[in-house]
Amino acid sequence: MNMSVDELIDDLKVKIIAALNLEDVAPGDIDADEPLFDDGLGLDSIDALELVVMLEKQYGIVVEDIEVTKKAFASVRALATFVAGNSDS
């Protein structure tokens, strides 16, 4: 799977919505550069755990370092860049 960052952004939006059961959110509603947590999409620590599980299942990425995770989870674009650099597929 050699996706561009833009393709990964679109893919991640769909997977985030599915993983977190965000029923009232469409992929187009998520700004790739807005924060995933707090004032942006408004995710919380439980959501973060769900995202880690999704990354492991969908992309084979094992997230171990919390500081790396904080940076990677800053936005959908940051997450896509992280996935592109760490995916085993």
DSSP 21-59: T-TT--GGGS-TTSBSBTTSS-B-HHHHHHHHHHHHHHH
pLDDT digits (tens, 9 = 90+) for 69-81: 888 999 999 999 9
pLDDT digits (tens, 9 = 90+) for 14-66: 999 999 999 899 999 999 999 999 888 899 989 988 999 999 999 999 888 77
Residue with tokens 């408004």: 42
49: CATH: 1.10.1200.10
Residue 38: which domain range?
5-86
Contact (Cβ atoms closer than 8 angstroms) between residue 51 and residue 19: yes
Number of domains in the chain: 1
For 83, the token pair is 């996935």
